[in-house]
A and B are shown apart, each in its own frame.
Chain A
Amino acid sequence: MPISLDNNMMRQIIMDHYSNPINKHQPKDDGFAKVHMHSDNCIDDLDIFLKVNNDVVVDACFDGVACTISTASTDIMCDLLKGKTKNEALYMIEQYHHMMHEENFDADVLEEAIVFINTSKQAARIRCATIGWNAADNILKEKK
């Protein structure tokens, strides 16, 4: 995904994932690992579900109460996780965190998640933009 996405496109992507988060639902079958996340400075109170088979994330979804930023960022993350190996997934999450904190990061693996590049402008909201990503990180590291 090119960094040259302009601001309007980035806004549109965030709004689309917020208004219509296709991954926001309970798991549709068994075999999902779940982590509950709760924010102490935002409304966010959600469950993240990952299904990992033979080292590959085969499905991801989330549910609960979440703000604009956490909904969109978690929804995008679920899209990106599907089909990745655990190591690829963990690498992507690590790069996302680098982006959050204005460190050097590998933009290629972040694809659509690049739309959150400006989160550090509103540092109080980094927690919202990473809550789902931290949950996935916990699940993947637990299962390693």
Chain B
Amino acid sequence: MYDIKNIRSLFPMLKNKKMQGKNLVFLDNASTTFKPQSVIDAVVNYYSNETSNSHRGDYDLCYNMDVKINDVRNNVANFVKCNPNEVVFTSGDTMSLNTIAYGYGLKFLKPGDEIILTEAEHASNMLPWFKVAKITGAKIVYIELDENLKITVENFKKVISKNTKIVSIAHIGNILGYINPIEEIAAICHSFGAILVLDGAQSVPHIETNFKKWDVDFLTFSGHKMCGPTGIGCLIGKYELLIKMDSFITGGGMNVTFDKNGHVEELLPPAKFEAGTLDLAGISGLNEAINLLTSIGMDEISKHDKELHDYAVKKLENNPNIIIYNKDTDTGILTFNVKGVFPQDEATLLNSKGIAVRSGQHCAKAFTKLCENNATVRMSTYLYTSIEDIDAFVDALINGGDILDAYFA
């Protein structure tokens, strides 16, 4: 049985926190997530007991840090099913995507080559490609979304061609939360000689990941969306691609030798991509986040998210004032509008009741198909979200009064 009470007890942010004088109900987990005490302790422990740099000294503290980084790399590799030498530590999903765009895209794209995206991508999976396309003369092509705003294999087949070199899409979109058919897309990519970059920011925290089995070429994610610290994330890449591509950030810790004439011999991956001092406290915290997720079980977590989503849909779908855009999503993201109310006003009203949701365009501003002004309210769950959280949210939506109550109540 899913022991929600026990799980919630692990999180300091779930203990008697108030917002606007009301009990805090946090339903913005697609944006970031709370940290369990074990993650916080691991971060503090690095600063209190383990502080040293990595691979830079001959003393025990430093050696222990190297061992730790190695252990965490193994833990990440087990978690997403890749080889440990395919795990690069970065500052987060955005940094990982930039590293691929500039390290791989810039090196290999030629004028006339095509990069396939969707209009539903997060800014972090669009803007780096815009820049790289501009520099290399490559062209951006979009997969057309179907009438339910989903990516379909048929529509993907319509745009892929021998000119396609890179396909970069989110496994789970941050607006509607659909799980995209990644294995089929990967196979089609490879049959055209293209590579597939998978933005896992919303998927790695919520569903089981299998880098090897899915046969994707790159995978990116952030620690902070999976109960880990901010400032740490990963880039997973097939080893032969990591060898082939260029490093993006250069400096200490990523080279074997260099001379004043500019000759640099780089270390092998993953070190090649880890210039500068890593976020060692973050790596320690990420380790504990993975341990928590593993101990609960990714299948259990996805089931929990979906149950909460479906419960909210059931409570809201018959309300004539509420428009839900993704009733059939298999994840914990619910995207909606209240008729005649600006999404920001709805979010302010919910804020006045202690409920945190996100309103707006969710960083996917090119995504104009959804609704007028392209803005919605999004509530998103995670492993510690309770039925009571959803009840409070539903009650506020249905009986919450109007926007000005938030100012004058």
Contacts and interface: CB of A to CB of B under 8 A. Distances in A.
Given A11-B404, A68-B403, A122-B407, A43 B375 contact: yes
A17 B351 CA distance: 24
A124 B348 contact: yes
Secondary structure dominating the interface of B = helix
B11 to A, nearest CB: 23
B343 A43 contact: yes
A15 B344 contact: no
Given A67-B344, A122-B352, A124-B348, A42 B404 contact: no
A24 B360 CA distance: 23
Nearest to B373: A43
Interface in B375-409: 375, 403-404, 406-408
B408 A68 contact: no
Contacts of B142: none
B351 A124 contact: yes
B345 interface: yes
A26 to B, nearest CB: 20
Given A43-B342, A43-B343, A43-B373, A15 B404 contact: yes
Contacts of A118: 407-408
Interface string A59-88: 000000101110000000000000000000
Given A43-B360, A43-B373, A124-B351, A68 B342 contact: yes
Interface in A32-59: 41-43
Given A42-B360, A43-B343, A43-B360, A122 B408 contact: no
A119 B351 contact: no
Contacts of A124: 348, 351
B373 A65 contact: yes
B348 A125 contact: yes
Interface string A1-15: 000000100110011
B406 A67 contact: no
B18 to A, nearest CB: 14
A48 B131 CA distance: 32
A99 interface: no
A144 interface: no
Contacts, number: 44
Given A122-B351, A122-B352, A124-B351, A42 B406 contact: no
Contacts of B343: 43
A28 interface: no
Contacts of B404: 11, 14-15, 68
Contact of A122 (B342, B348, B360, B375): B348
Interface string A119-130: 101101100100
Nearest to A7: B408
Nearest to A11: B404
Nearest to B374: A43
A122 B406 contact: yes
A69 B344 CA distance: 10
B30 to A, nearest CB: 16
A11 B406 contact: no
A21 to B, nearest CB: 14
Residue from A14, A69, A119 with most neighbouring chain B CB atoms (10 Å): A69
Interface string B247-291: 000000000000000000000000000000000000000000000
Contacts of A69: 345, 403
Contact of A41 (B20, B352, B360): B360
A11 B348 contact: no
Contacts of B20: 121
Interface string B338-367: 000011110010011000000010000000
Contacts of A65: 373
Residue from A10, A118, A119, A121 with most neighbouring chain B CB atoms (10 Å): A121
Contacts of B351: 122, 124
B371 to A, nearest CB: 12
A124 B408 CA distance: 16
30 contacts: A10-B408, A11-B404, A11-B407, A14-B404, A15-B404, A41-B344, A41-B360, A42-B344, A42-B360, A43-B344, A43-B373, A65-B373, A67-B342, A67-B344, A67-B345, A68-B342, A68-B345, A118-B407, A118-B408, A119-B407, A121-B20, A121-B406, A121-B407, A122-B351, A122-B352, A122-B406, A124-B348, A124-B351, A125-B344, A128-B344
Interface of B: 20, 342-345, 348, 351-352, 360, 373, 375, 403-404, 406-408
Given A68-B404, A122-B406, 4 more contacts: A11-B407, A42-B360, A68-B345, A125-B344
Interface of A: 7, 10-11, 14-15, 41-43, 65, 67-69, 118-119, 121-122, 124-125, 128
